[in-house]
Chain A
Amino acid sequence: MKISREDVLKVAALAHVELADAEVEMFRSQLDSILSYVAKLDELDTSAVEPMAQTLDSGSASSEGTPLRDDVVVPCAIREEALAAAPDPAPPYFRVPKVIER
């Protein structure tokens, strides 16, 4: 077994996702089969291989590169609209349950 019930609960807590009891066992067994499958990567010797995080070179000015823009501050005047999409806005803030006890 690749992953236990406790592992699922620990990872769900890290990810801030509440799982129902039935979901914990369903995910455990499904993730177990997925992790058993992806273990096939161990067949490959990658000790001399560089990891690839991105398929494009960054910062290059070549025709296929992704040059960085100049570091200039540009105003973004959508504060009211952004707050309007929030479930509990308190302009100019987003209100959340109290986190500081006095």
Chain B
Amino acid sequence: MTAASNGGGEWTVASVAAALAAREISARELTREYYERIARRNAELNAYLALCPERAYAQADRVDALVAAGSALPPLAGVPIAIKDVFTMRGVPTTCGSRILEGYRPPYDATAVERLEAAGAILLGKTNCDEFAMGSSNENSAYGPVRNPVALDRVPGGSSGGSAAAVAAGLAVAALGTDTGGSVRQPGSFCGIPAMLPSYGRVSRYGLIAFASSLDRAAPFARNVRDIAAVLDAMAGRDALDSTSAAAAPPQSLAALDQPFRGVRIGVPLECFPAGMNAAVREKVEAGIAQLEQLGCTRVPVRLPHSEHAIAAYYIIATAEASSNLARYDGVRYGMRVPGATLMEMYQKTRGRGFGNEVKRRIVLGTYVLSSGYYDAYYLKAQKVRTLIARDFANAFAEVDLIVTPTSPVPAFKLGERSDDPLSMYLADIYTVTGSLAGITGISVPCGATTDGLPIGMQIYAPAFGEARLLHAAHAFEQARAKAQMN
């Protein structure tokens, strides 16, 4: 039996559940189908870095045993999911896309990984990403770039490019990524699939190998908003192993989707639609806003006056935190070691050769902005601007329920087009870093394509812990857009 049993379309959480319950397919057969797809496409896409079939088939057999016993199935039973290679998985190679962790097999599972598996998901393997999640194109992986399945000469976005490409190419039903400054939302927009940023604190970071601890979030990709909600609900919640995971009430976002959508107030920030912006991005996001208005939403102009300072604040804070977090890779406890005559020489050679250029650049920048004499001018200043950016959102959300912006100022660019100019790469994160700094929740949903067929994403933001409201609107939008396209 193959995916053809799914009516020729792609599998979803709901169609997997229905097919298992009707015994049209077993979890083992479905797992095999996905590994066959990976075997056919991965050489070209480079989306997966490691597979874990033994673990996946063992889980599939547990699901099939539940089906055979007539037991109730957990919410993600039998759903094949890919995991970004910055999450630890017990015994499975975990590299963070870096040479410095080549061959590392962690002795424990990340909490998000453990919860997905506890919900019945089948974890297929680890996906490629920019080294230590630092990048917007997936070209900073030590294991080669990922190609965008929509256009093979283009980047899939980054840093979670492998997870985005895997879902877009049908090599996983859903995927786990991480989003620090846009690393899930932007590749989602580039590959034409929904991609969500949960609120800071919503999902445990235990086992999410740290880049910038005050910004990092575990974040899902799927082919539709309903599946995003199912994956989020399975992962969310307080974890004693992450002191920054929040004791908030569960999101219950899946339950919210079936409520009637009556329309809400949507804020459209003037700053996010500057003169001279990419015409196709403007046109398709405007069309998305018009679609939301047809659903009964009211469009309200809002201001986010400190947006133009967000990139500068973000890259100071993120690199400062990275320089501290990445101090642990020193050739002593895990990963590679380059021998040296002294301990210091061993540290310096291991880090000099184990890290790639973007990681070294950010470690040097982060160390500089924290160093004596520069701390107040750069790091403290950036933390104060972060307060102003969070305040901008608080002020806007006093007037509106949701905020709509483009996800990225441009669609997917060509491989190699920007890799020599780090600053221009950073500037493309303009719409996503604001929400990262403020700790709020957001989603990128497909809203159209360029004349060349390159996907464009529309970003929707909601206040922190407003995931149910956010996904309710995103789901209504997705349904309306699908209906409009059929007519």
Give the interface of A toward B (CB within 8 A).
3, 7-8, 11-12, 14-20, 23, 26-27, 30-31, 33-35, 37-44, 46, 49-56, 58, 61-69, 78, 81-82, 84-88, 94, 96-99
Contacts and interface: CB of A to CB of B under 8 A. Distances in A.
A37 to B, nearest CB: 6
A56 B423 contact: no
B290 interface: no
A91 B339 CA distance: 20
B418 to A, nearest CB: 13
B337 A87 contact: yes
Contacts of A53: 214, 383
B472 interface: no
A38 B244 contact: no
Name B's interface SS: helix
Interface stretch (B252-260, B357-365, B407-415, B450-458): B357-365
A67 B438 CA distance: 20
B383 to A, nearest CB: 3
Interface of B: 104-108, 200-201, 214, 240, 243-249, 306, 308-309, 311-313, 315-316, 323, 327, 330-337, 339-349, 351-353, 355, 357, 360-361, 363-365, 367-368, 371, 378, 380-388, 390, 422-423, 426, 438-439, 464-465
Nearest to A64: B248
Name A's interface SS: loop
Given A41-B312, A55-B214, A27 B247 contact: no
A55 B361 contact: no
8 contacts: A17-B364, A18-B348, A37-B423, A38-B382, A52-B383, A68-B243, A86-B333, A97-B345
A-B residue pairs, 10 tightest by C-beta: A55-B439, A18-B352, A51-B383, A81-B107, A87-B337, A46-B384, A38-B312, A18-B348, A49-B384, A16-B347
A64 B201 contact: yes
Nearest to B352: A18
